[in-house]
Amino acid sequence: MVIIEKVIRSEQKGRIVYQGNLMSHHADALSTIPLYNHPDGTGYQRPFDSHRALSYAHYLEEQDACLTPIVLNADGKWTFETYDEADPDYGRLICQGPARVIDGQHRLGGIDKFHRKLLHDEALPVPFMAFHVLYPDEEVSIFDTINTNQVGLTKSLLVYLKRDKEQYARIAIDLAERADSPFYNLVVVVSKKTTERPFTLDHLKRAVETMIADTPLEALDLEKKRLAIMVYFREISRIFEEAWTSKTAFKLRSVMGLLSCAAVGRRILEAAWNPEHNWIDEGEVKSLVWKMHDFDWSRTGSIRYASGIPGQRYVAQVLNYKVFGVPITAREPVGGPKFDIEQVG
């Protein structure tokens, strides 16, 4: 038997609900996971993912880690006792058996690994909301609602949320939002990309990181890194003005086009780097970008079948060849037949 103190009791559409904190070293004894293949036929939870739980355990080691409430069905095994009849909905829970976990199995698994695998002794308060009792169909309905209707965060929104902690995220946001940037009005933050705004914030962050990470420019301050990328992409947008402004006719305004340009841009910025001035030779950048001016970005031209990572790799190597004379080793993208023609004898 385990006692949970300082619990608030309330009513939710005729159901009794408890809210409070159970201590992490009691979590395993106070909860059970109704897996989909449970012998009694009432299970519904997905198989346990040990790697996901371990990832949460490592998160709990962070200084600013925050535990969010788990949702339980006490199944009538937890009894509420009030402290004072004058305040009847504040008291303790007498727990005589484990509750069924509706939401939070991997958080609870992570808490268990936090203690058993990572060997942390300090008990953590685990917030919970527990229904006093639910019928099996009610329990499954709540699980279904929580897991079916949730919408995951987009990668671009995560980039935006990390803007104060990650420099490449901050640079990408500045490039997207500043009116003097070639990317102004071309980037979406939380929604899906469109013909009007063909790049996402995540795509732009990846391009920024490709061009800066592990190069001499990495030692620059944030503003100079942003400026270096602007110098390069301003020239790209000028040399390929039609392809940069056209909404659908060219592949420059695509993820493949952006990341291909970022790959060759990395080499151009490195080639234009002047260690004496701790800055790039902007004239050299313009001169090198000009060598790409005759590349055909049209969707009906030589790269019409280029897409994804293979297409990105091929286009980047073609651009590198034009600028630096590096041999092309990636296979040229070739369109395959949309159907097979069978000969009938």
pLDDT tens, 276-310?
Answer: 999 999 999 999 999 999 999 999 999 999 888 89
Q: Which of 119, 148, 177 is the last residue of a domain?
A: 148
Query: Given this model, what pLDDT does residue 303 score?
Result: 92
The Cα 200–Cα 196 span in angstroms is 12
Q: Is the pLDDT of residue 150 over 70?
A: no
Q: Is the pLDDT of residue 273 over 60?
A: yes
Q: Is the pLDDT of residue 338 over 80?
A: no
User: With bands split at pLDDT 50, 70 and 90, how would you rate the model's confidence at 326?
Assistant: confident
For every residue of 31-81, DSSP letters joined together read EE--BTT-TTS---BPPP-HHHHHHHHHHHTSTT--PPPEEEE-TT-EEEE
Query: Given this model, what pLDDT does residue 149 score?
Result: 61
Residues 251 and 320 in one domain: yes
125: CB partners within 8 A, 6+ apart? 21, 22, 23, 24, 67
The answer to whether position 340 is within a domain reads no
pLDDT tens, 156-168?
Answer: 777 777 788 889 9
Amino acid identity, position 304: R
Residues 142 and 281 in one domain: no
User: With bands split at pLDDT 50, 70 and 90, how would you rate the model's confidence at 29?
Assistant: confident
Q: Which of 120, 148, 176 is the last residue of a domain?
A: 148
Query: Given this model, what pLDDT does residue 28 score?
Result: 84
99: CB partners within 8 A, 6+ apart? 30, 31, 32, 72, 73, 74, 75, 77, 78, 130
The answer to whether position 345 is within a domain reads no
Which residues constitute the domain of residue 9?
Answer: 2-148
Residues 160 and 280 in one domain: yes
Query: Given this model, what pLDDT does residue 336 score?
Result: 59
pLDDT tens, 108-146?
Answer: 999 999 998 999 988 999 999 999 999 888 888 888 887
The Cα 160–Cα 168 span in angstroms is 10
Query: Given this model, what pLDDT does residue 332 score?
Result: 81
Domain count, the chain: 2
Q: Is the pLDDT of residue 230 over 60?
A: yes
pLDDT tens, 168-206?
Answer: 999 999 999 999 999 999 998 877 788 889 999 999 999
Residues 140 and 278 in one domain: no
The answer to whether position 53 is within a domain reads yes
Q: Which of 128, 148, 168 is the last residue of a domain?
A: 148
Give phi and psi for 155, each to the nearest 5: -60, -35
Residues 124 and 261 in one domain: no
The Cα 149–Cα 335 span in angstroms is 38
Residues 115 and 183 in one domain: no
Residues 222 and 90 in one domain: no
Higher-pLDDT residue of 338 and 44 is 44
Query: Given this model, what pLDDT does residue 343 score?
Result: 45
Residues 9 and 35 in one domain: yes
User: With bands split at pLDDT 50, 70 and 90, how would you rate the model's confidence at 344?
Assistant: very low
* pLDDT more than 70, % of the chain: 95
The Cα 16–Cα 140 span in angstroms is 18
The answer to whether position 336 is within a domain reads no
Query: Given this model, what pLDDT does residue 79 score?
Result: 95
CB atoms within 10 A of CB 10: 11
What is the pLDDT averaged over residues 269-277? Answer: 95
Residues 51 and 196 in one domain: no
Query: Given this model, what pLDDT does residue 211 score?
Result: 96
Residues 62 and 108 in one domain: yes
The answer to whether position 341 is within a domain reads no
Query: Given this model, what pLDDT does residue 337 score?
Result: 53
* pLDDT more than 90, % of the chain: 64
The answer to whether position 338 is within a domain reads no
The answer to whether position 209 is within a domain reads yes
The answer to whether position 86 is within a domain reads yes
Q: Where are the alpha helices (DSSP H) in the chain?
A: 50-60, 105-116, 136-148, 155-161, 167-177, 201-212, 222-239, 241-245, 255-271, 282-290, 308-324
pLDDT tens, 204-221?
Answer: 999 999 999 999 999 999
User: With bands split at pLDDT 50, 70 and 90, how would you rate the model's confidence at 151?
Assistant: low
What is the pLDDT averaged over residues 87-116? Answer: 93
Residues 294 and 201 in one domain: yes
Residues 131 and 161 in one domain: no
Amino acid identity, position 169: A
Query: Given this model, what pLDDT does residue 195 score?
Result: 86
CA 304, 296, 176, 184 torsion: positive or negative? negative
